[in-house]
Structure 1
Amino acid sequence: MAPKKILKVGLDSAAPFPMHSDYHSDKFEGFEVDLLKAITDHLNLEIQYEVSLWQNILEKLFKGELDMICSAVTVTDSRKHILEFSEPYLHFRLSAVVFHEDSLDSIADLKNKTIGVREATEAERYVHTRFPNNNMVHAVTNRELYSKLLSRKIDLLVDDSPIAGGFLQKNKKLKIGMFLPETESHYAIAMKKGDLQMKQQFNDALKLMRENGTYDTIYQKWFSDIEF
């Protein structure tokens, strides 16, 4: 029997649970972990995770140091120019997270607020574009970002809704104040530009997972209590 082909898969070292947990912890788990295992088992491929800071991960893929990234990668037009993307596996929105006692009635309520974001994310780009005059506080990891809000160093944070939902399950003092308008987005598996054969294989496998119920089972396991 021929050995399985090994895929070098990039993973954000600042675990965005429930997409995945910390790879170096005793319990490495999450939606993307289960989904990628189901796909690679079907394709008879072996995963070798390469953990990296988010701000470096896309560049590593572009340089060919990774075969793909399955780590909450938002599909954007600019990224499509330099990478291949599978069909989307999760749709979501950006959300503004606040304390339970705070309220956001409209997007105008974000003006003059100190807003926290993670570096090199679409949330950061959104805040830069929509609220260029606001005081913006950057964090490298999700944990750092939510700690800044809990210690009231920022008024609110902007994050992808499924990741926010995972953190809010553990932080009952916080809530999603509002979903930000016109931020409908999706995650997909990012691959090297021109890797069309792998892209087709993964798209076919994703299609099969949706048809045979595997996708729904994994989705319900991780997102049954999360709104996005």
Structure 2
Amino acid sequence: MKFFCRGLSIIFVMFMLSACADTNQTPKYKVGIDATLIPMAYVNDQNKLEGFEIELLDAIAKTAGFEYETINVAWAGIISGVVTHKFDMSISSITILEERKKNMAFSTPYLRSGLAIVVRRDDERIKSLQDLKEGKMKVGAQRGTTSYFFLEKHPEIEKIAYEKYNHAVADMIKGEIDAVLGESTGTLYYKNHDNEIFQKIKMVEEVLTEEYYGIIMAPDNKELKTTLDKAIKTLIKNGTIERLHEKWELGLAASVPELK
């Protein structure tokens, strides 16, 4: 009986140690990313993900103490993937909107940006949003983005939906559409990294709107939101996000938000 009780004690201790080990395991999350948003997140020549948001995600993970697996998906699946729990969170220059908060939670904002009109460099017809409306021009925008939603509010403009921002720019250069509306950070990439294309385009106005980007997650995942919020605030305070902003040459197209 003594040996039987001792055996049970050993089994109990081993069970408790195993339970503690499981509790102390580093959490690992699945992260959805649309790696076509240069310079925010894209696939480089070595077939690896890089960009401002890729490095930001890595800094957040190290600060918060979690591991992650990135899942590269088209923009159309970025939000739905979180809603259907395909991934735990998504980071892809997702603008914080009240209507989106009905289906998802947002982290504290990590970047302030806006929308900009891009036209061919030799096009002198377009100098403002008003010119697009009065000329009833064709304007491309990535489907499902705030750029596309913005155009929906201006029926005078003929909006053309694209799956990718760079496809819209390519069509504009060929003369198939008159302009492109998109994130100002995307235009700056061409300026800093693809001079051949940048010589063919120009930004009409610096910023049409003011937007804030946040990481999205399921609305009931309050623990993850608390973790992300704390890490982002730390990275804003210690200057990490500002350094990434400078490294990726986001310039006037975007800025680091002030903590409230």
**Common fold: TM-score over 0.5:** yes
The corresponding residue for 1:107 is 129
The corresponding residue for 2:82 is 61
- SS of residue in 2 equivalent to 1:74: coil
Question: Aligned runs of 1:116-131 on 2, under 5 Å?
Answer: 116-130=140-154
Q: In the alignment, which of 191, 196, 210 is matched to residue 184 of structure 1?
A: 210
- SS of residue in 2 equivalent to 1:77: coil
Shift in Å at residue 135 of structure 1?
Answer: 2.2
Give the fraction of aligned pairs with identical amino acids, expressed as a percent: 26
RMSD: 1.9
Question: Aligned runs of 1:84-95 on 2, under 5 Å?
Answer: 84-95=105-116
Cα distance in structure 1, aligned partners of 2:72 and 2:234: 28
Residues 95 and 161 of structure 1 are in contact (CA less than 8 Å); yes or no, is this contact kept in structure 2? yes
Cα distance in structure 2, aligned partners of 1:23 and 1:62: 29
Cα distance in structure 1, aligned partners of 2:219 and 2:114: 26
Residues 166 and 226 of structure 1 are in contact (CA less than 8 Å); yes or no, is this contact kept in structure 2? no
One-letter code aligned to 1:81? K
The corresponding residue for 1:80 is 101
Compute the TM-score of the two structures, normalised by the length of structure 2.
0.81
- SS of residue in 1 equivalent to 2:171: helix
Residues 62 and 82 of structure 1 are in contact (CA less than 8 Å); yes or no, is this contact kept in structure 2? yes
Cα distance in structure 2, aligned partners of 1:69 and 1:167: 25
Cα distance in structure 1, aligned partners of 2:100 and 2:44: 25
The corresponding residue for 1:141 is 164
The corresponding residue for 1:8 is 30
Which has the higher mean CA deviation after the structures are superposed, 80-89 or 141-150?
Answer: 141-150
The corresponding residue for 2:14 is none
Which has the higher mean CA deviation after the structures are superposed, 208-217 or 17-26?
Answer: 17-26
Quickly say closer, same or farther: Cα 1:96–1:24, change in 2 above 3 A. Answer: same
How many residue pairs end up in the alignment? 225
Shift in Å at residue 226 of structure 1?
Answer: 5.5
Higher helix share: 2
One-letter code aligned to 2:113? F
Segments of structure 1 that go 5 or more residues without pairing to the other structure are none
Specify the structure having the higher radius of gyration (Cα): 2
Please list the CA deviations of residues 111-166 of structure 1 after superposition, one character each: whole Å capped at 9, or x if unmatched: 21110111111111111112x13322211112211111111111000001112221
The corresponding residue for 2:70 is 49
One-letter code aligned to 1:153? E
Cα distance in structure 1, aligned partners of 2:86 and 2:103: 14
Residues 42 and 51 of structure 2 are in contact (CA less than 8 Å); yes or no, is this contact kept in structure 1? yes
- SS of residue in 2 equivalent to 1:21: strand
